[in-house]
Amino acid sequence: MNESKKKLKLTIPKGSLQEDISSLFEQAGLKLRFSSSRDYRPAINDPEIQIKLLRPQEIPNYLIGEDEFDLGISGIDWVKETNADVEVILDLETGGVRIVFCIPNFWENINSLDEILNEFHKSGKIFRISTEYLTLSLKYLKNNETYKTLYGNKDPMVITPWKKWGENERVKIFLSFGATEAKPPEEVDAIIDNTQTGSTLRANNLKIVETIDTSNAVLIANKNALKDEWKNEKIKDLKVLLMGVIEASKKLHIFMNVKEENLQKILKKLPALKRPTISKLAGDDTDGWYAINTIIKKEEFLNLIPSLRKYAQGLVVHQPRQILPLEKIK
């Protein structure tokens, strides 16, 4: 294929992650243009990238095979849930959620999975869970010591519209297609779902009993695409642009003027990305003055204030848009 006509097929998440990813891309210089709120194929200002929106739950499985997408963004929770054989390229450090086990908040005296399993077992009731995370939920239950004591190695009964499996009919897991938090207490007794703040759970009278896992959005690649030289290089280009935004969000770019007599006092205190840039100020009236230019971690800035206030003048602080770690992309 002609190099100029090659396309990297990228799928990004529709839904709650869409705004975060669009913002991340824009900061990286990649502008998505949607013709409407229903547009699943946005344009992008890079003619070598072709984009489509899909649900994050679906994306990992669409990155397997030669004719599928080359690159995608989804939560690491869905990569684990689907057991998709993909390559995790980069943690995007956005879209963070917790995967939580929840029960109705009127069960004031029950505060663990162990307690609820014992309670339902003693009363002879079937314990029902609703979730989109079938794989995770099975592991969570079967790794629980109380579950092992009560039911041994039996798999909980898993119920989907097209298939049922599992030997333990005393514990049932129902596949949810959304609005999971609305299911208890009528349809099910508990849920396993993701949450950012917990506000939706609280609004539906649920309480978080345990956090099972955490998840961020990740950039994932089709392993077949990585074997293609052109696609591999294009993926590296995209990776370094996104890494630049992530790195910049943690850093500050500071400039200051310092008298020569205070230069070493400042340098002893001053951290830097590599080493600070130091130069003499121009002009006869600035003799004995130096300019310092450096990148520091945001978390270090407050601790530097006493020294900067004492020894520096003309302090300027910038939030960099990108810091491209080119040496890390080989």
**pLDDT at residue 141 is higher than 70:** yes
| DSSP-assigned letter for residue 108 | T
pLDDT at 328: 67
Rounded CA-CA distance 245/269 in Å is 27
- pLDDT confidence bin for 176, thresholds 50/70/90: very high
pLDDT at 324: 79
Average per-residue pLDDT in the chain?
92
- The mean-pLDDT minimum among 9-13, 101-105, 147-151, 283-287 falls in 283-287
Rounded CA-CA distance 274/277 in Å is 9
Name the percent of the chain lying above pLDDT 90: 75
pLDDT at 56: 94
pLDDT at 249: 93
Report the relative pairing of strands 8-13 and 71-75 from DSSP bridges. parallel
Residue carrying structure tokens 């003619």: 47
- pLDDT confidence bin for 235, thresholds 50/70/90: very high
pLDDT at 100: 97
Cross-strand bridge partners of residue 193:
100
Q: Which residue has the higher pLDDT, 10 or 68?
A: 10
pLDDT at 12: 95
Exposure string of 111-147, with b = 16+ CB inside 10 Å and e = fewer, is eebbebbeebbeeeeebbbbbbbbebbbebbbebebb
What mean pLDDT do residues 32-43 have? 88
CA distances from 179 to 42, 65, 188, 193 (A): 27, 32, 13, 10
CA distances from 176 to 65, 166, 180 (A): 27, 17, 6
pLDDT at 91: 97
Instruction: List, in order of start, the domains of the chain with CATH numbers.
Output: 3-94+216-248 (3.40.190.10), 98-215 (3.40.190.10), 251-321 (3.30.70.120)
**pLDDT at residue 173 is higher than 70:** yes
Sign of CA dihedral 258, 264, 270, 276: positive
pLDDT at 84: 95
Q: Are 90 and 76 in contact (CB under 8 A)?
A: no
- pLDDT confidence bin for 4, thresholds 50/70/90: low
**pLDDT at residue 115 is higher than 70:** yes
3-state class percentages of the chain: helix first, strand second, coil last, to nearest 5: 35, 30, 35
- pLDDT confidence bin for 27, thresholds 50/70/90: very high
pLDDT at 5: 78
**pLDDT at residue 322 is higher than 90:** no
What mean pLDDT do residues 242-255 have? 93
pLDDT at 327: 67
pLDDT at 329: 63
**pLDDT at residue 215 is higher than 90:** yes
Q: Spell out where the chain has E strands.
A: 8-13, 32-33, 43-44, 49-54, 71-75, 87-91, 97-104, 127-131, 156-159, 164-165, 168-175, 190-195, 206-215, 217-221, 251-259, 277-280, 289-297, 312-318
